[in-house]
Chains A and B, each alone.
Chain A
């Protein structure tokens, strides 16, 4: 499923949302650089959209009021910045927007879940916030790393140190999560299952410290979750990292 031909063949399934999350991430990565697939997706979505003509159904009138009340409280996003924007300012602006979205979403989740879940504060740059801890983990004497390669060239490595009780994930060339989604990190804690270890900022290459006690965890995982994350995984993990036997 990693050869370009196979990836290209997913275009129809992609157009009707019939890919699983991992395939979708891989395909969207391919799509970003494939004009032919972009055109095909556009035309197939036109065709698929017409299928909804056959199911057209008037919604209850009260729904209109709810929708219009909803939108009155939400500010529309500005148009995408032109891609020809100066290179120096574009990444900064993009990061800023992503961070705001995450911050708003995370706040909602914290309100809903209570104060027991520790969320990464996405408005702060975790890479500069905790350089010493991440460096310590990566260079610890008992550091152990597990790497996973994704179709499409992305790579994720989780390094954990039992003595420090911390784990760090380093990603390379990670495609952005699907629209409206985030990558969420998890630690597999004995007796508790997957416990949230924070959300990954939307950046292809990054180093993130996982929240939670890595010394007791038996593994780590990444899932694709709705914006703001979830209190427990709602999708199959796109990656699992086994920490191996505990001493």
Chain B
């Protein structure tokens, strides 16, 4: 009660949570790791995995929801990243954007083909894998960057935010998003684009 200690200002996440294997002080050069992976350097790929797997797995999990399937999507995505690492072109975006584009595509393919299978065969039963709580209980990691992204999302209109969320995290097509948000057909794609542009500008990325 008698000793008040000065605390460093109230941002609890100012050092984020360093990921295992990636030193918090010097993040690995992902573009260089991709270049080396493209030459079949497995140890470089292991470092790349450690630096990116939480984002890849987290995105896959958010889209497909089922942890067992999220692991499969993650595995597929990294295999694709390994296979095509030599074709990564820095002019076409950052390594993270490239890696997450591959991941997102795989995750969306997964949910859409599952949906098509359900439609095709009404007796189709999804084999409900028991959810392994040990592997899923990991809390979503807090980072400064996540905080910044959440802040940027607040600059979007509600419709923009919802449309992007349904498209990116829900894996829905813009036509489905329009129906879900009761927007006129053709409007959702505009909201998604407007919203992404605003998000891009708020975060100061891309062009």
Q: Which residues in window 21-51 of B have CB below 8 A to A?
A: 37-40, 42, 45-46, 49-50
Return B200 CB to nearest CB of chain A, in Å: 4
Return B169 CB to nearest CB of chain A, in Å: 7
With an 8 A cutoff between CB atoms, is B140 at the interface? yes
Given contacts A46-B94, A60-B71, 20 further A-B contacts (CB under 8 A): A47-B203, A47-B206, A49-B94, A49-B99, A50-B145, A51-B169, A54-B146, A56-B58, A58-B138, A59-B74, A60-B132, A60-B135, A63-B53, A66-B75, A67-B79, A70-B79, A77-B83, A80-B87, A226-B113, A234-B120
- Residue contact A67 to B54, C-beta cutoff 8 Å: no
Q: In the complex the two chains form, what is the Cα distance from A67 to B57 in whole Å? A: 12
Contact with A along B68-100 (1 / 0, CB 8 A): 000100110011101111110000111011011
With an 8 A cutoff between CB atoms, is A17 at the interface? yes
Contact with A along B142-174 (1 / 0, CB 8 A): 010110111000000000000010011101111
Contact with B along A71-82 (1 / 0, CB 8 A): 110111111100
- Residue contact A42 to B92, C-beta cutoff 8 Å: yes
Residue of B nearest to A8 (CB): B193
With an 8 A cutoff between CB atoms, is B179 at the interface? no
User: A49-B97, A71-B45 are known contacts. Are A13 and B174 too (CB-CB below 8 A)?
Assistant: yes
- Residue contact B113 to A234, C-beta cutoff 8 Å: yes
Interface residues of B (CB under 8 A from A): 19-20, 37-40, 42, 45-46, 49-50, 53-59, 61-62, 71, 74-75, 78-80, 82-87, 92-94, 96-97, 99-101, 103-105, 108-109, 112-113, 116-117, 120, 132, 134-135, 138-141, 143, 145-146, 148-150, 164, 167-169, 171-175, 177, 188-190, 192-197, 199-200, 203, 205-207
- Residue contact A50 to B203, C-beta cutoff 8 Å: yes
Q: Which of A47, A53, A57, A179 makes the CB contact (< 8 A) with B200?
A: A47
- Residue contact A232 to B120, C-beta cutoff 8 Å: yes
